[in-house]
Amino acid sequence: MTEQFLLQLSLAVLFIPIISFLILIFFGKKLHRSGDSIATSLLAVTLLLSGIILYSKLNFYPEQTLNGTFTWVSFSRPELTSLRLDLGIMIDNLTAVMLVVVNLVSFLVHLFSTEYMHGDVRYSRYFAYLGIFTFSMLGIVLTNNYFMMYVFWELVGLSSYLLIGHWYEKKSASDAAKKAFIVNRVGDIGMFTGILILWATYHTTIFSDIYSQLATGIVPFGDTTWLTVAGILIFCGAVGKSAQFPLHVWLPDAMEGPTPVSALIHAATMVAAGVYLIARAFPMLTADALIVIAYVGAITAFISATIAIAQTDIKKVLAYSTISQLGYMVMGLGVGAFSAGFFHLVTHAAFKAGLFLASGSVIHAMHHALHHKHDHETDPQDIANMGGLKKYMPITFWSFLIYTLAISGVPLTSGFLSKDEILAGTLAFGELSGHTLIPIIAFLVAGLTAFYMFRLVILTFLGSHKDESRVDHIHESPFAMTFPLMLLAALSLFFFYSPNPINAASGWFMHFIERPISVVPLAVAATSNEIFEEALHHAHSTAMYLSLAVASLGILIAFATYYWKKISADNIAAKVPSVYLFLKNKWYFDEFYDKTIIALTIGISKFFNWFDAKIVDGIVNGVASTTKHTAFGSGRFDNVVVDGFVNGVAYVSGLIGLVLRKIQTGKVQTYIIYVVFGVVILFFIYR
């Protein structure tokens, strides 16, 4: 396995999905089963190749970064020496892991969709879009520079837009697609500005080149404040893509897309791109930028966890739980627990994709049962209409339970390992920096997560179904749907990541993914790795016991409320209706944005519309009417004076002609008379 060969393999991994896209978009309808088997098998190939890449990286090049760069645009004119754009890919440990995560989830979603989307109107187009999405995501993962990162970043936004709006006949779906795209743009502008700041200083966008220049003490515009600004601006891109506060509003709406798409894009890969971006930018982030990131993550985690408690749509609960977990990862990176944050990204990708696919399985079954009863009123996604599904869908139930245990941070699961590391990181950070609010929020959110996830499990699968006649027609989903569930459930267990079920530090993952060395000037750098590791080590056992305590408390309360009915949720909601409504309505974020930003935008648009209609159009119309009147006058002058003169001349000529034609009779003899008389007259004149 030479380095060259590995790079070629990764290029193949990058381009195979776009081939799948091209085949399906052009020939999809003519192929057998609309080409879903082609797309799925191509993804199986990329999964295999990325597995080989990870294996080789892990065993042969654990410390190296493989780089392949070529110059795309270069101006050799002396005054423009700085204008050069390099494109390239690199494989480091982050890349190798992300390749497998993206390809695995994408492959499983392809497989799941062959059943879930069966009979859809735009079946082949759906698979084509999955292909272009996978391509874009792999581009983000493989690139070695901010420029390509930005290009693929936008491509991911585009494919996300296409997939959310897959059922664009539904107004809510097309609105959600537009909302996702536009909200993402807001963050992307920040990211773009950040990249421009780096470009203006370093004249390159390659990560390693920027960081090596930064390590020699060159900072943007000679001021470390600009370095912080650049870091925060690039983080803005992550805020948009990873649905962080205050741009998190698009993700819940994006649930209008097909459920497997939610699993692929809005749980495991695209939203993880933001976290991946922070990981890539990590070496250049200053302490101040990291604190901003940590607080944004913590606020996001808290807000969305509280919202998730009051939602009743199964996908909305999962959407808010996703935002909350993304906040967790961002917070983890922000406090400096780099490996933990990234570890959580990987474990979360497995169990959250699983949760979404399992919810897809439930919705699929509910939909068919309702369809069988000709019931088109009941919402198949509302957990209030579910309950007692455990008996009918055992595989879905058990895998869902494993994912829930993982996301709640129960021991023996992967989620416990990664969450525990993040919590320890926040404790260490709180101790070192004095920002104690962050660990407090982190533990509170851990408890809330356990509570609302078990609420979801109990209401969906346990207890009894409200309407027994409906349950008869609920069946377990076919193998193509249950296989991904079982595989992801297995991947949510601890032994894939660490031999020790209560400590990830001994596992391969935490050694493989290590916190990169910060290259920012010492004065503005975050706590160094050694000191942080030391504090982390101390905080570890405390974090573990505390997290176990809050998780069990959350689970207990969930059971007490929804299973044993010791606590009545309705009573609590009735006692504090304002709080309940506040959470139910998602902290009124959408309404707030409607009233402020959107109202402002519409106001400005209206003003410009008025300006256009009155001022610009007025000027244009004024000019037009002046021209018209001038033309009218000029026309009159033409018609009356010029034409009158010309016509007059013609008329006079005509009159003369009329007179003269009398003389010209055509009779030669008349002429002779004229001649004779003429001669006679001439004779008398000249005599």
Q: Which is nearer to other proteins, 541 or 664 (CB)?
A: 664
In this complex, which beta carbon is closest to other proteins, that of residue 55 or of residue 674? 674
Query: What's the closest the beta carbon of residue 664 comes to other proteins, in angstroms?
Result: 7
d(CA 413, CA 38): 34
**Encoding tokens for residue 242?**
């990873």
Size of the residue set binding other proteins (CB under 8 A) = 9
- Least distance (Å) from other proteins to the CB of residue 678? 13
Q: Which amino acid is at 381?
A: Q
The secondary structure of 165-213 as a DSSP string is GGGTTSHHHHHHHHHHHHHHHHHHHHHHHHHHHHHHHHS--BHHHHHHH
Minimum separation from the CB atom of position 668 to other proteins (A): 6
Task: Name the residue nearer to other proteins (CB basis): 217 or 666.
Answer: 666
124-163 in b/e form (b: 16+ CB < 10 A) is bbbbbbbbbbbbbbbbbbbbbbbbbbbbbbbbbbbbbbbb
Q: Which is nearer to other proteins, 630 or 665 (CB)?
A: 665
Q: Work out how close the CB of 672 gets to other proteins at its nearest, in angstroms, rounded to a whole number.
A: 6
Say which DSSP state 383 is in: G
**From CA 171, how far away is CA 176, in angstroms rounded?**
8
| CB nearer other proteins, residue 676 or residue 682 | 676
Contact status: 41 vs other proteins (CB under 8 A): no
Q: How far is the CB of 623 from other proteins (least distance, A)?
A: 55
Contact track, other proteins, 608-647, x by CB under 8 A: ----------------------------------------
Question: Shortest approach of other proteins to residue 667 CB, angstroms?
Answer: 6
DSSP code of residue 545: H
Produce one character per residue of 396-435: b if its CB has 16 or more CB atoms within 10 Å, e if not: bbbbbbbbbbbbbbbbebbbbbbbbbbbbbbbbbbbbbeb
**3-state class (DSSP) for residue 517:** coil
Q: Which is nearer to other proteins, 668 or 685 (CB)?
A: 668
Residue 663 CB, shortest distance to other proteins, in Å, is 12
User: Which tokens go with 189?
Assistant: 């502008």
Which residues lie closer than 8 Å to 114 by C-beta, 6 or more apart?
Answer: 33, 36, 37, 40, 480
**Which residue type is seen at 595?**
K
Do 29 and 17 form a contact (C-beta atoms < 8 A)? no
Question: Closer CB to other proteins, residue 522 or residue 668?
Answer: 668
3-state DSSP helix/strand/coil percent for the chain, to nearest 5? 80, 5, 20
| Residues 640-679 contacting other proteins, CB under 8 A | 664-669, 672-673, 676
Chain residues 89-108 in contact with other proteins, contact rule CB under 8 A? none
Nearer to other proteins by C-beta: 549 or 672?
672
Decide whether 630 or 664 has the Cβ nearer to other proteins: 664
Q: How far is the CB of 653 from other proteins (least distance, A)?
A: 19
Q: What's the min distance (Å) between Cβ of 655 and other proteins?
A: 19
Question: Of 30, 34, 49, 244, which is closest to residue 129 (Cα–Cα)?
Answer: 34
Q: Which residues contribute to the site for other proteins (CB under 8 A)?
A: 664-669, 672-673, 676
